Chains A and B, each alone.
Chain A
Amino acid sequence: MNSTQNKNIQDLLREVTDPEIPVLSIMDMGVVRDVEVNGKSVLIKITPTYSGCPAMDTIATDIKLKLDEAGYDTTVKLILSPAWTTDWITKKGRAELEKYGIAAPLDETSDKHALIDGKRIVKCTNCGSTNTKMVSQFGSTACKALFQCEDCLEPFDYFKCLK
């Protein structure tokens, strides 16, 4: 593999997004685990965020479409090990999430405090206040919990920590 080609593939992968969080590229989400290039044939290994995540099939199809269109012969393989963790979301990805209105995952301990002990530490994505409460441990998708800000009253999603 030469480095121009590699960069080209990485750039293309950066254009593929999570259909449920369209601001987040799959590269920033950390689901792309490996890229193997052999001439024109490319093997992309991805890992699911949650086992039942319905976005995975779409992501696999989108990767294939995007790379095939650029002239590659693409195979996408789903791998389970090592299991995905929210630690793999990049800094840029976390910033994109926040901008989109989804609070980025806290570290493991703070996450437990927020979800179990009801500690008010998750920052509202609208006004920045930490005077927020958990409405439901499970939110609009498996990876999120539903919160509401008690100051500006805005409801918002919190991306749960997965270790």
Chain B
Amino acid sequence: MKDKLYEYLLMLGDNSMVLGHRLSELCGHGPSLETDIALTNISLDLFGQVRSYFQYAAEIKGGDVTEDSIAFLRFDRDYRNVILVEQPNEDFAHVIGRQFLFDAFHLPLLEQLMESNDEMIAAIAAKSIKECRYHLRFSSSWVKRLGDGTMESKIKMQSAMNHFFPFVSELFRETSIEKEMKELGVGADLKMIKEVFDEKVKEVFFESTLEIPQSSSRQTNGKTGIHTEQMGFILAELQYMQRAYPNMQW
């Protein structure tokens, strides 16, 4: 049970960490000052949530494990994030598309986790959801602005969504750990989250005059540790300090 809860916390934390890392890459590179600040603020929120999940996970694991060792000293196969969040930034439409799809999933996820009978998970979710509402507001307003903007922005937004949609199904494909956590009342019910997600996507795509891609889904398994090559590049940068200077602290 303890091991499974630990794994579940990694699933929750790794999504936020890898997406937070992708957003941090934009620090100083955002298309405008305001979007730059917004994206890095969202990154900061996500990393704050990661710290809460990993501090809790370290407590469960015990021994020498710390939030830092969880974040920086695992190999790619040990990360439990979905493939969607490791997708590269490419252009602003990609950044926004990835963010919107994740936020639309993240908000109903946190809504359910607030009711978790694990008190710590419920507390982290109750804290995070307030921040996540701002994230979803930001990303959906940009999807609409780009989708219903110029010919150029519409093409870019649609093409980003076409790229990301095959990765969406993984969010809702239940792993054995998620199933067990759901049955114990600790974790969320992905089926219920999907209903809320689909509704939100429909609403925002309609207002954006975008088409919901009908592409087939890919059999991705980030949640069980099977990642794309992107993960290697992410970890090379993310883990550089700890690998080069073992045990260094801020």
Residues of chain A contacted by B119 (CB below 8 angstroms): 81
Q: In the bound complex, how far is the Cα of B37 from the Cα of A115, in angstroms? A: 16
Shortest distance between the CB of B35 and any CB in chain A (Å): 8
Task: Mark each residue of chain A from 115 to 137: 1 if its CB lies under 8 Å from any CB of chain B, else 0.
Answer: 11000000000000000000111
Q: Quick one: closest B residue to A134, CB to CB?
A: B34
Name the A residues within 8 Å of B127 (CB-CB).
48, 51, 80-81, 83-84
Docked complex Cα distance between A113 and B41 (Å): 22
Find chain B residues with CB under 8 A from A140 CB. Answer: 37
A7 CB–B CB distance under 8 Å: no
CB neighbours of A137 from chain B (8 A): 38, 134, 137-138
Q: A160 contacts B134, CB within 8 Å?
A: yes
Closest to A139 in B: B37
Q: Is the CB of A52 within 8 A of B44?
A: yes
Cα A54 to Cα B127 with chains together (Å): 16
Number of residues from B at the complex interface, CB < 8 A: 27
* Smallest CB gap from B43: residue in A: A52
In contact, A51 and B122 (Cβ under 8 angstroms): no
Contacts of B41 in A (CB 8 A): 138, 141-142
Q: Is A162 an interface residue (CB 8 A)?
A: yes
**Bound Cα distance A160, B133 (Å):** 12
CA distance A123 to B107 in the complex (A): 31
B43 CB, nearest partner CB in chain A, Å: 8
**Closest beta carbon of chain A to B203's beta carbon, Å:** 15
Neighbour of A80 across the interface among B45, B47, B52, B138, CB < 8 A: B52
In the complex, A115 Cα to B134 Cα: how many Å?
10
Known A81-B123, A116-B137: A163·B130 in contact at CB below 8 Å: yes
- Say what secondary structure dominates the interface of chain B: helix
Do B45 and A52 touch (CB < 8 A)? Answer: yes
- Cα distance A50–B34 in the bound complex, in angstroms: 19
Mask, A21-39, CB within 8 Å of B = 1, is: 0000000000000000000
A103 neighbours in B (Cβ, 8 Å): none
Judging by beta carbons under 8 Å apart, are A52 and B48 in contact? yes
Per-position 1/0 for B176-219, Cβ under 8 A of A: 00000000000000000000000000000000000000000000
In the complex, what distance in Å separates the CA atom of A81 from the CA atom of B49? Answer: 14
Given A50-B131, A80-B52; 15 other pairs, CB 8 A cutoff: A48-B48, A50-B48, A51-B45, A52-B46, A52-B47, A52-B49, A80-B123, A80-B124, A81-B122, A115-B137, A136-B37, A138-B34, A138-B42, A142-B44, A146-B34
Task: Provide a sorted-by-A list of 17 A–B residue pairs whose CB atoms are within 8 angstroms.
Answer: A50-B45, A51-B51, A51-B131, A52-B51, A54-B44, A81-B119, A82-B126, A83-B123, A83-B127, A85-B130, A115-B137, A137-B134, A138-B41, A138-B138, A140-B37, A141-B41, A142-B45
A residues lining the B interface (CB < 8 Å): 48, 50-54, 80-85, 115-116, 135-142, 146, 160, 162-163
